Amino acid sequence: MADQEVDHALSGNGPTLAFYALRMVERMQWRKLRRNTIDLYERHIRLYVLPYAGHRMVASLRRSDSLAFLDYLLTRPTLRSPHSVNGVFQSWVNLMNFIVDENVSLPPNIVSRIKRAHVPEPVDVLLSPADVASIASAIRELQPCFEIAVWLGACAGLRTGEIFGLKWSHIDFQRNMLSVEEQFMKGTSGPLKTRSSYATLAVDTFLMERLKDHLRLPHSPPLEEVVDISVPQIFPPLEEHVISDKGGNPVPYGKFGHQWNKAVRNTGLPKGTTLLSLRRFYISTLGNSYRHDPKTVQLLARHARFSCTWDTYARPRRAATRPRVDDFTEAFRETF
């Protein structure tokens, strides 16, 4: 936040909305929340909350102000989708709740039962194995070192930042294990999305073979340093990222994103195909194979809530393979 904003945060008639907005961000910093979360709130407050009502005394705020703020957001050219509008409005809701927690009296219904902007149901891009292979091939033709990002998304379910934050020290070639420990976003390494995101995953031999192919690229460390199983835990330089430039430095997502979009066009896949589509492919493949119980799929997906794994991503075609229920025969065997 700019220093001059603090000067206007207090009014002769009491604290303004700007005062509590700045305090909320400071509280987030004290609690050491994720940097991305703090940046998001700072941006919402700076661009929308303060211009709209930063000068207002909080004691004067009413439910009508919340309704008017939502209408205000709908007219902002920088908010191009209802989803973005609702995201900023949620920051307003959280700010109102923070003010109440600061023992400030606000109308009890100031943000309750306010209908948000309608968000159309997203069009799911459901990829087949052939689709994944085709986009991997297209990426390989454009920039070979980026192909492994496709396989890490499709065969390990890694998110974008996790893919670019993955280091060779996180991979155990002997045991087919991969540890998800950090992400690389906006030019810096940082913590993962949620507590459930941290995990050591069992991965398919197929993915390990793709990683070995990646090591055969000219800029990669020597292959024998990785696959020599006679000496345990031998890797390339431990802090080197799997996707890196010739100097071993991590690659910003922007460089990959440009090639990804070209590959999507070249393969004729839907415009909305993203790295998240690869994660959906990973989870749905696990869920529909019927080789893993649902809770195992949730653990591999690294979701805190089972419903997110099963209803949003996996969407199994049937409840079980050849379902057979005979529990009640056993239960009533002595009765009949």
Residues 6+ apart with CB under 8 A from 253: 160, 161, 164, 185
Instruction: Indicate the pairing of strand 171-172 with strand 14-15.
Output: unpaired
Residue pLDDT tens, the chain, 336 long: 544 444 445 555 678 999 999 999 999 999 988 888 899 999 999 999 999 999 999 999 999 999 999 999 999 999 988 999 999 999 999 999 999 999 999 999 999 999 998 877 766 778 899 999 999 999 999 999 999 999 999 999 998 889 998 988 899 988 888 988 888 877 777 777 777 788 888 889 999 999 999 988 875 544 444 444 343 344 445 558 888 877 777 787 778 888 999 999 999 998 889 888 999 999 888 888 878 888 888 888 888 787 777 777 766 655 444 555 555 566 557 765
Burial class (CB in 10 A: 0-12, 13-18, 19+), 128: exposed
Other CB atoms within 10 Å distance of the CB of residue 317: 9
Predicted TM-score (pTM) of the model is 0.69
Buried b (16+ CB within 10 A) or exposed e, 83-121: ebbbebbebbbebbebbeeeeeebeeebbeeeeebeeee
In this structure, how many other beta carbons lie within 10 angstroms of the beta carbon of residue 22?
Answer: 19
Domains plus CATH for the chain? 3-101 (1.10.150), 129-314 (1.10.443.10)
